[in-house]
Amino acid sequence: MKHTKVMRYQIIKPINDTWETLGHVLREIQRETRAALNKTIQLAWEWQGFSAEYKQRYEEYPKTKDHLGYSALHGYAYNRLKDEFYRMNTANLSQTVKRAADKWKSDLKDVLRGDKSIASFKKDCPIDIVSQALRIRKDGSDYIMTLSLVSIKYRKELERKQSFFDVLISANDKTQRDILDRLIAGEYKLGASQLLYHKKKWFVNVNYQFEKEETAFDQDNIMGVDLGIVYPVYMAFNNSLNRYKIEGGEIERFRAQVERRKKQLLQQAKYCGDGRRGHGTKTRIQPIEVVSDKVANFRDTVNHRYSRYVVDMAIKHRCGTIQMEDLSGIAAEDTFLKRWSYYDLQQKIEYKAKEAGIQVVYIKPDYTSQRCSKCGHIERDNRTEQATFECKSCGFKTNADFNAARNIATKDIEKIIAETLK
């Protein structure tokens, strides 16, 4: 089965030109991309209006080929716009127009019902790069991307010999490097990708495809995932005593470092120099906001890593179902969620699980920490301390998080608990 994924890479610097030239070109093309997207939507709206009037008059819809000269709307739109947006590589422009036409087609029913507004693209919209306009090569330990960005006409205006730009990209972790190596080797196929500008940096979202052998999963084979403080993630199964856990020390150490750094910056803000004092509160708290961004980035990275581990363990044990506690009713201010974004972690687990063909089921967390996973007895005193569970009925004693994860992994656990409480 064919899988499609995207990996983001930061552009470090251009190799065959200056940042001044490349930056100017990217800004111009991004401006043209936005305008082309919005004009395509406008042409689509005009065609929709004509079609509605035609249907009312002749009791049938007009054929695109007969009236526009093209079998598809994006072909007509491209022909109308290609001379106006001459700076863009023509293949990239065609992809941009098709993106807008596809967006119009997918939104049309909702727009006509009044459930959705007509699409409008903002100035920071990504730039389309077709697979033929992007090449990757390795130079020693460095990875170089060749981006065909401009038309022949615009290249001559820029007084450049080539229409492409060679750029050095950042590939810091093993996963990023493996993907690039497989693309270079032909194991993965390059798809239509995008350039985007984020926080004053340019990135390439590389779209790649690969064939993946499907794994046979049993939906009655369930992994239960318990989220907590001592162990951010504890995993157990309904048909085995296997267990996996993620230690919480990494998160706590980073959080403690951040809190210390925030306090230091708050103290420094009282005695800051003229450079930070002259522009008001915003300038004073800017270093603190930088620290907050680091926290958000760290949390996002860690949750991606943790969610990958959870889904990998489910695949290893052929689990067709992952069950987790439903945290949607817990306020973000709740102390349980305040220490770490468990909800964000759950969303990442769900996304990766569905990608692998595993269903995700959310269950009510009530009594899962008080129920004995061995005999089913529910009692508050079964868990008198954070780390240990000891059943007052059968004497079963184990790690409290493991016991909760085993309960969460039980099929129809909500019904079982409801019957027990009766």
Q: What is the pLDDT, as a whole number, of residue 251?
A: 65
Domain extents for the chain?
Answer: 11-188, 218-421
Closest CA to 392 of 379, 407, 374: 379
Give 109-176 as a DSSP string: HHHHHTSSPPP---TTPPEEE-GGGEEEEEETTEEEEEEE-B-HHHHHHHT-S-SEEEEEE---SHHH
264 HSE (CA, 13 A, CB side):
8
CATH, domain range 218-421: 3.30.420.140
Q: What is the pLDDT, as a whole number, of residue 407?
A: 96
Q: What is the pLDDT, as a whole number, of residue 92?
A: 97
pTM of the complete model: 0.59
Residue 281 CA to residue 161 CA, distance in Å, equals 49
Q: What is the pLDDT, as a whole number, of residue 257?
A: 74
Q: Are strands 233-237 and 243-246 parallel, antiparallel or unpaired?
A: antiparallel
Closest CA to 38 of 118, 112, 110: 118
Residue 381 is classified by DSSP as G
Q: Is 229 left (phi over 0), alpha (psi -120 to 50) or beta?
A: alpha
Tokens of 263: 């306090």
Closest CA to 212 of 235, 189, 242, 234: 189
Model confidence pLDDT, tens digit, residues 118-168: 999 998 999 999 999 999 999 988 999 999 999 999 999 999 999 999 999
8 A C-beta contact, residue 336 and residue 342: yes
Q: What is the pLDDT, as a whole number, of residue 335?
A: 44
Q: What is the pLDDT, as a whole number, of residue 356?
A: 86
Which residues are marked as active site? 226, 325, 401
Angstrom distances, CA of residue 359 to CA of 103, 108, 354, 356, 380: 28, 30, 6, 9, 31
Q: What is the pLDDT, as a whole number, of residue 303?
A: 84
Model confidence pLDDT, tens digit, residues 323-376: 999 876 655 444 444 455 788 888 889 988 988 889 999 998 889 999 999 999
Tokens of 296: 């958000």
Q: What is the pLDDT, as a whole number, of residue 285?
A: 47
47-56, 133-142, 286-295, 321-330: least confidently modelled range:
286-295
Closest CA to 127 of 37, 199, 44: 37
Q: How many residues does the chain have?
A: 422
Residue 145 CA to residue 8 CA, distance in Å, equals 13
